[in-house]
């Protein structure tokens, strides 16, 4: 379903992010998670896109499987990294044929093996260029929906580490919206003040599309360390760190603290009329289910057995 129709239903969107599994075991775990979370009838689910190589095909496979075997509405991520125009065109053609309604258009993380990666060789240098291309593809009538793909882009409430100039950064974000993006999904954040301020700064910059807040509960100390690395620049407020320190090395307590903290964030976001909340699930369902329960968001229908 086109993202504009999803928003038109009213109320905040609630959605989940998955990544394509690389092993049979991880695949089994993901499908268990999916069957548990499908019952919550999320507004959509999104599927991440690897930095290069064979993992990229897995995104397509997972999107098609979700679309054909579940009631979920998958939104594939697509990035500029290591792609020529012809690659992007054939990916879009396949998604259009399969009736995929939306794409999250991203700059993309560079591949791990930086030696062989030359950014200048990418056909699209910034996500804004990719948005423009998807829009052109859409208006050429290649998509079953006459509006073409709905397009999402990334936003960074705490600022993106590659652009220290926070004024220019808003211009770059505005360029993505002007190129045709319909909505923004944010990077994870732990201080809602950052999100509220980002939303205000967007409005001041003339950005008036819905902004979906990205939430990732801390579920383990190791996970938090990985998160700090992957979402480089993410701030971990003292309030969260203090509570985690109290939990010490008791894994259950750490998880409870992380889930409680994320629940408070979600509760505040809902009270402030957030357009949507996107849960970075890491392919697990427990934390999301706990947050839903604490917020009084009931499961829409019982999980299939
Ligand atoms: C919700 C979300 C989902 C993500 N999913 C994935 C994924 O599936 N796969 C993946 O590889 N990565 C993913 N990422 C990470 C993301 O691709 C990286 O953080 C990337 O560095 C930034 O992506 P972007 O789309 O904001 O890129 P861009 O908008 O291209 O911005 C990249 C940098 O360039 C700057 N910039 C933009 N325009 C200009 C300009 N005209 N001149 C100079 N500088 C400019 C921006 O300020 C920013 O610092 C995701 C991030 C988010 C928030």
Residue 91 sits in a domain of what CATH number?
Answer: 3.20.20.220
Q: Is residue 303 part of a domain?
A: no
Phi, then psi, of 224 in degrees rounded to 5: -65, -40
Among 176, 239, 234, 233, residue whose Cα is nearest residue 205: 176
pLDDT at residue 135, rounded to an integer: 96
Gap between the Cα atoms of 302 and 212, Å rounded: 26
pLDDT at residue 253, rounded to an integer: 98
Q: Is 269 exposed, middle or buried (0-12, 13-18, 19+ CB in 10 A)?
A: buried
**Helix residue spans in the chain (DSSP H):** 3-8, 24-38, 55-69, 85-97, 127-139, 166-178, 192-204, 221-230, 238-247, 251-271, 286-295
CB-based burial, 151-167: b 16+ in 10 Å, e otherwise:
bbbbbbbbbbeeeeeee
DSSP reduced 3-state for 104: strand
The DSSP output letter for 116 is G
Split into its structural domains, the chain has a count of 1
pLDDT at residue 232, rounded to an integer: 77
Could you tell me if the CB of 284 is within 6 A of ligand 1? Answer: no
Q: Write out the residue range of the structural domain in which residue 206 sits.
A: 3-295
pLDDT at residue 51, rounded to an integer: 82
Ligand 1 atom with least separation from CA of 278: 1
Q: Is residue 68 part of a domain?
A: yes
- Centre of ligand 1 from the C-alpha of residue 114, in Å: 17
Compute, in degrees rounded to 10, the torsion defined by CA atoms 53, 17, 161, 79: 40
Q: Is residue 266 part of a domain?
A: yes
Q: Is residue 305 part of a domain?
A: no
- Centre of ligand 1 from the C-alpha of residue 107, in Å: 4
Gap between the Cα atoms of 254 and 260, Å rounded: 10
DSSP reduced 3-state for 289: helix
Ligand 1 atom with least separation from CA of 107: 27
Active site residues: 17
- Centre of ligand 1 from the C-alpha of residue 247, in Å: 34
pLDDT at residue 303, rounded to an integer: 56
Q: Tell me how far CA of residue 9 lies from CA of 5, 123, 275, in angstroms.
A: 7, 36, 12
Q: Is residue 136 part of a domain?
A: yes
Ligand 1 atom with least separation from CA of 19: 8
Are 49 and 76 spatial neighbours (Cβ–Cβ below 8 Å)?
yes
Q: Is residue 220 part of a domain?
A: yes
User: Residue 265's CB: how many other CB atoms inside 10 A?
Assistant: 21
Q: Is residue 301 part of a domain?
A: no
**10-residue block means of pLDDT along the chain (305 residues)?**
97 96 95 96 97 86 96 98 96 97 96 85 97 92 93 97 95 98 98 98 98 97 91 92 96 98 98 98 97 90 57
pLDDT at residue 280, rounded to an integer: 97
């Amino acid at each position: 379903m086109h993202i504009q129709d999803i928003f038109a239903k009213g109320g905040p969107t609630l959605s989940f992010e998955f990544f394509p599994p690389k092993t049979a075991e991880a695949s089994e775990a993901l499908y268990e998670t999916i069957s548990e979370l499908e019952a919550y009838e999320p507004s959509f689910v999104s599927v991440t896109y690897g930095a290069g190589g064979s993992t990229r095909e897995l995104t397509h496979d997972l999107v098609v499987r979700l679309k054909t075997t579940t009631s979920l509405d998958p939104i594939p991520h697509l990035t500029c990294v290591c792609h020529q125009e012809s690659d992007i065109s054939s990916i879009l053609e396949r998604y259009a044929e399969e009736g995929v309604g939306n794409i999250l258009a991203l700059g993309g993380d560079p591949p791990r093996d930086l030696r062989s990666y030359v950014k200048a060789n990418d056909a699209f240098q910034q996500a804004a260029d990719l948005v423009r291309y998807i829009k052109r593809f859409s208006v050429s009538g290649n998509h079953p929906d006459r509006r073409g793909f709905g397009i999402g882009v990334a936003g960074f409430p705490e600022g993106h580490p590659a652009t220290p100039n926070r004024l220019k950064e808003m211009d770059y974000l505005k360029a993505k919206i002007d190129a045709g993006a319909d909505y923004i999904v944010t990077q994870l954040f732990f201080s809602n003040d950052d999100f509220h301020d980002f939303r205000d700064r967007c409005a001041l910059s003339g950005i008036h599309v819905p902004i979906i807040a990205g939430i990732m509960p801390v579920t383990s100390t190791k996970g938090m360390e990985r998160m700090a690395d992957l979402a480089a620049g993410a701030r971990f407020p003292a309030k969260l760190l203090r509570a985690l320190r109290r939990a010490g090395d008791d894994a259950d307590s750490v998880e409870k603290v992380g889930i409680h903290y994320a629940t408070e964030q979600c509760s505040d976001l809902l009270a402030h009329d957030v357009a949507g909340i996107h849960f970075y699930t890491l392919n697990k369902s427990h934390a999301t289910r706990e947050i839903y329960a604490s917020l009084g968001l009931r499961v829409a229908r019982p999980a299939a057995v």
